[in-house]
Amino acid sequence: MVTAFPSPPPLSPPASLAERQDVVVVGAGIIGLACAAYLQEAGRQVLVIDSKGVAEGASKANAGGLALSDILPLASPRTLRQVPRWFFDPLGPLSLPIGYLPRMLPWLLRFVYASRPAQVTRSIAALADLMALSRAENPKLWALAGAEDKLRPTGSLQLYDGAGSFRRAAASWELRKAHGIAFEHLQDDDLHHFQPGLSSAFRHGTHVPSWEMVSDPYEVTLLLAEAIQGRGAVLAKAQAMAVKPGPDGVQLSLGCGRTLAAAQIVLAAGAWSRPLAKGLGDRIPLETERGYNTTLENPAIILERQLIFGDHGFVVSPLSSGLRVGGGDELAGLDAPPNYARARTMLTKAKGFLPDLNTEGGIEWMGHRPSLPDSLPVIGHSAATSRVVYAFGHAHLGLTQAAATARLVRDLVAGTPAPINLAPLRPGRF
Ligand SMILES: Cc1cc2nc3c(=O)[nH]c(=O)nc-3n(C[C@H](O)[C@H](O)[C@H](O)COP(=O)(O)OP(=O)(O)OC[C@H]3O[C@@H](n4cnc5c(N)ncnc54)[C@H](O)[C@@H]3O)c2cc1C
């Protein structure tokens, strides 16, 4: 049964906002709202602004996975080896429209550079730190949202196209094991007993018990917004145009023409953060990896866990809004219209992998993942002023890393020591 979500909370008009603010958070996605919740809990008065509304960006309809075991960066030799196959397969998960290639090229070159072994080792350490922190902070974040009952310890099941693919993944599982991540490889009858309904073509899988899910990403993000608003945070519909250091704080120019003064600003505008950081002199190579999915209200099958078809770059996720099939990676920037053929390709493949799946009547969606070339987010102070904290670039893992990010941002705003090494995440690293 599909659950009714809370209504989006009412948003204040920009004209009603006080001219002086304590902390302004730009962006009402999962990252901005998680930061707002932690800052509010630390005693700060918070205004959250968003140009579109609550959870209208990537946080709206992602796959809902708390992928705490995902400590391997996308920028890696493993990915580079797959790129030619993915790129030249018209049904593959990767697409880069030729017209966007010149714009994307600097990011791609940085991605290749970040895939060298020494950087991969550093990125794994940073991701493992972030995931451990999210694991520790998750109970608190979801309690602040009043959404403890929306977490599901489902585990996940990674599936392989054949014995060769399974063998090639062995090294990545050894790396996870070294970081204390438990998993269980399943084969043949054991696999099909564990996960009924799979095509008999699948002979190998890996179950990760520590993987969790939320009931639905939109539902939990709305609950978080509602909870912080209920405790006195102001949520407003307004577009940030520019941020500048001011005489005793920061000045924020809004699209409506008003300028607000704030003691501190957290920039959490997801894939749209780059020009605001650039205005402060911080050149951050943020791009977007666009992802697609289809949510099926009547899928005709019941899944208890997320299924990951890694060789095809998509997942199948049981959510309270339906069964969601999607993923993929389209490097086409912020402005190109969606190409929903990409969602349909994944749906067709899913039907082959789960033969009883009813693929009729789905709702299609496209989201902009905010991505840095080294597969790590930017969390740290602007070089221009310590009164601006950046929290964006979480790519495929923003929901998973929201709790850790909120904790780190709270500490950065307060000027207290961070519980993990922030050097790999600093904005000036590029
Ligand atoms: C298909 C897909 C599946 C995914 N699955 C998962 C998953 O299973 N698990 C996981 O952890 N992650 C997943 N992700 C990634 C996750 O969705 C993102 O990392 C996360 O949502 C990013 O959150 P955010 O708050 O930074 O950005 P967003 O949710 O995009 O929020 C940014 C907000 O900033 C606002 N904004 C932008 N510019 C301005 C401005 N100038 N002024 C005011 N407001 C502004 C936007 O309107 C938007 O609401 C997936 C992503 C996709 C696309």
- pLDDT tens per residue across span 258-310: 999 999 999 999 999 999 999 999 999 999 999 999 999 999 999 999 999 99
Taking the centre of ligand 1 as the mean of its atom positions, its distance from the CA of residue 34, in whole angstroms, is 12
Do residues 156 and 65 lie in contact, with contact meaning Cβ atoms separated by under 8 Å?
yes
Residue nearest to atom 47 of ligand 1 (CA): 52
Domain boundaries, the chain: 14-59+218-284+375-429, 74-115+152-210+286-371
| The token pair that represents 291 in the structure block | 């992802």
Q: How far apart are the CA of 28 and the centre of ligand 1, in A?
A: 9
Q: What is the pLDDT of residue 381?
A: 98
**Residue 3: per-residue pLDDT:** 64
**CATH placement of domain 14-59+218-284+375-429:** 3.50.50.60
Of the candidates 107, 127, 121, 66, the residue with the CA atom closest to the CA atom of residue 425: 127
**Ligand 1 atom at minimal distance to the Cα of residue 271:** 30
Determine the pLDDT at residue 91: 77
* 187-233 pLDDT per residue, tens: 999 999 999 999 999 999 999 999 999 999 999 999 999 999 999 99
Q: Judge whether 273 and 370 are in contact, CB under 8 Å.
A: yes
Residue 90 clears pLDDT 80, i.e. is over it: no
Residue 4 pLDDT grade (very low, low, confident, very high; cuts 50, 70, 90): confident
Q: What is the CATH class of 74-115+152-210+286-371?
A: alpha beta
**For residue 152, is pLDDT > 90?**
yes
| Residue pLDDT, tens place only, 306-361 | 999 999 999 999 999 999 999 999 999 999 999 999 999 999 999 999 999 999 99
Determine the atom of ligand 1 nearest the C-alpha atom of 365. 1
Ligand 1 pocket mutation, candidates 272, 315, 345, criterion most atoms within 8 A of CB = 272
> Which atom of ligand 1 is nearest to 268's Cα?
26
Q: What is the pTM of this model?
A: 0.98
Residues 299 and 57 sit within 8 Å (Cβ to Cβ)? no
The answer, yes or no, to whether residue 404 has pLDDT greater than 60, is: yes
Tell me the angle at which helices 30-41 and 217-230 cross, rounded to the nearest 10 degrees: 30
Of the candidates 294, 340, 267, 264, the one whose C-alpha atom is nearest the C-alpha of residue 95 is 340
Give the whole-angstrom CA distance, residue 156 versus residue 57. Answer: 25
pLDDT recorded at residue 420:
98
pLDDT of residue 1 exceeding 60: no
Q: What is the dihedral of CA 56, 62, 64, 67, to 10 degrees?
A: -120
Angle between helices 398-414 and 117-144 (to 10 degrees): 80
Could you read off the pLDDT of 11-38 as tens digits, one per residue?
Answer: 999 999 999 999 999 999 999 999 999 9
Does residue 407 carry a pLDDT above 70?
Answer: yes
* Pocket residues: Cβ below 6 A from ligand 1: 26-32, 49-52, 56-59, 62-65, 67, 239-240, 268-272, 291, 293, 326-327, 367, 369-370, 392, 394-400
In this structure, the residue with its CA closest to atom 26 of ligand 1 is 270
The CA 369 to ligand 1 mean position distance, Å, reads 6
Pocket test for ligand 1, best of 142, 323, 396, 425 (most atoms within 8 A of CB): 396
